[in-house]
Amino acid sequence: MLTPLSVRFIYAIAYIVLAPFIGGLLEGIGRKISARMQRRVGPPLLQPFYDISKLLKKKRSQVTRAQGFLLTSYMLLIIFTGAMLFFGTDMLMCFLMLSTAALFLYLAGCVTTSPYSSLGAQRELIQEMAYEPAILLTALGFYLAVGSFDVETIYNSPVSPIMIIPGFFVAFVFILTIKMRKSPFDESTSHHPHQELVKGLTSEMSGRNLAIFNVTEWYETVFLLAVVFLFIKNSSAPLVSGLVGIGVVLLTYFLEILIDNTSARVHWERMLTLTWAVTLCSCGVNLLVLMIVR
């Protein structure tokens, strides 16, 4: 018989092992859907894995040694963040770890002399400024809904948190566009080249370092989608809410691709005001309603 603690360990290890595969597959599906939206055939479903495999085979070249170290730290911190969430610890702690990881990415961009990379790194900080309030408020929202920051308690809450904090859900999904680096908020790493930014933050990353960056993105995507799942999951109807949760996660991901394909990059000031406005309005209204109702 498995003890609750060993089950939690299995969840955390499953995240560490499976997240890159799920994240890579999601990116493959995303690229395929994007291509279909543009009436193209698109790459094979496993293309992201082929890309990683190719990047690992390229001859190693890096601008400074610090870049490799900083990127590895970034990856380990993101993996640790996700593992903590799947282990079921404090959600606030997970989000603070996420911010620390973003700092290492910023440093990895700064450490080179390339103007594109530096510009991308500065924009990464601006992005963090834009999404951080929404992320912290999300943790607060879960506390208001469930009465605990503990992920395990949130996961086993009798009512889906989204029933109590829909405003926080809107704010969180809104900033996912920034976190997943999709247009119109792909400020720090433009994923379509030939723009003023080249590849932004990742301009000076090649071969193995770029592979580390990409795999870390997959880990982060799975982590963020797991938070979306937590909004839906309840313990009254675990199977139904679980299935609906997976549906909402996939729908959210599809929505990001749709937004990505239908919008062009906006100026960073616009991103900041728009994100903060959405965060303040949706979370604020939700908070007011909660205060009146309770």
Partner 1 sequence: MADITRSPWLLHYDASSCNGCDIEVLACLTPVFDVERFGIVNTGDPMQADIFLITGAVNAQNAPVVKQIYDQMSDPKVVVAVGVCACTGGVFKEAYNVMGGADKVIPVDIYVPGCAARPQSIIDGVVAAVGLFKERYMQLKNKQPLSVGHLEGGEGS
Instruction: Out of 14, 21, 54, 238, point to the residue binding partner 1 (CB under 8 A).
Output: 54
Using rule CB under 8 A, residue 210 touches partner 1: yes
Which CB atom, from 106 or from 116, has the smaller least distance to partner 1? 116
Burial class (CB in 10 A: 0-12, 13-18, 19+), 5: exposed
Q: How many residues bind partner 1 (CB under 8 A)?
A: 34
Amino acid at 276: W
Which CB atom, from 203 or from 282, has the smaller least distance to partner 1? 203
What are the C-alpha distances in Å from 55 to residues 18, 58, 168, 205? 20, 5, 38, 11
Instruction: Out of 124, 187, 204, 220, point to the residue binding partner 1 (CB under 8 A).
Output: 204
The distance of closest approach from Cβ of residue 38 to partner 1 in the complex, given in angstroms and rounded to an integer, is 7
Instruction: Out of 7, 14, 18, 57, point to the residue binding partner 1 (CB under 8 A).
Output: 57
Q: Quick one: residue 99, left, alpha or beta (phi over 0 = left, psi -120 to 50 = alpha)?
A: alpha
Using rule CB under 8 A, residue 203 touches partner 1: yes
Using rule CB under 8 A, residue 198 touches partner 1: yes
Applying CB under 8 A, the span of 57-65, 67-75, 170-178, 277-285 interacting with partner 1 comes to 57-65
What are the C-alpha distances in Å from 140 to residues 173, 200, 209? 16, 33, 35
| HEC sequence for 178-235 | HHCCCCCCCCCCCCCCCCCCCCHHHCCCCHHHHHHHHHHHHHHHHHHHHHHHHHHCCC
Using rule CB under 8 A, residue 205 touches partner 1: yes
The distance of closest approach from Cβ of residue 203 to partner 1 in the complex, given in angstroms and rounded to an integer, is 6
Instruction: Out of 9, 47, 76, 287, point to the residue binding partner 1 (CB under 8 A).
Output: 47
Which CB atom, from 179 or from 208, has the smaller least distance to partner 1? 208
The distance of closest approach from Cβ of residue 61 to partner 1 in the complex, given in angstroms and rounded to an integer, is 4
Enter the tokens of residue 290: 């909660």
The distance of closest approach from Cβ of residue 105 to partner 1 in the complex, given in angstroms and rounded to an integer, is 17
CA angle 120–43–117, rounded 5-degree value: 10
> Within 10 A of 108 (CB to CB), how many other CB atoms are there?
29
Enter the tokens of residue 47: 């293309």
CA pseudo-torsion sign 178, 180, 183, 187: positive
Which CB atom, from 192 or from 270, has the smaller least distance to partner 1? 192
Asked if 108 and 67 touch (Cβ cutoff 8 Å), the reply is yes
Using rule CB under 8 A, residue 60 touches partner 1: yes
Instruction: Out of 4, 38, 158, 293, point to the residue binding partner 1 (CB under 8 A).
Output: 38
Using rule CB under 8 A, residue 39 touches partner 1: yes
The distance of closest approach from Cβ of residue 22 to partner 1 in the complex, given in angstroms and rounded to an integer, is 18
Applying CB under 8 A, the span of 41-49, 143-151, 248-256, 281-289 interacting with partner 1 comes to 41-49
Residue 93 makes CB contacts below 8 A (sequence gap 6+) with 84, 149
Q: Which parts of this chain interact with partner 1 (CB under 8 A)?
A: 31, 35, 38-44, 46-47, 49-51, 53-54, 56-61, 193-195, 198-199, 202-207, 210
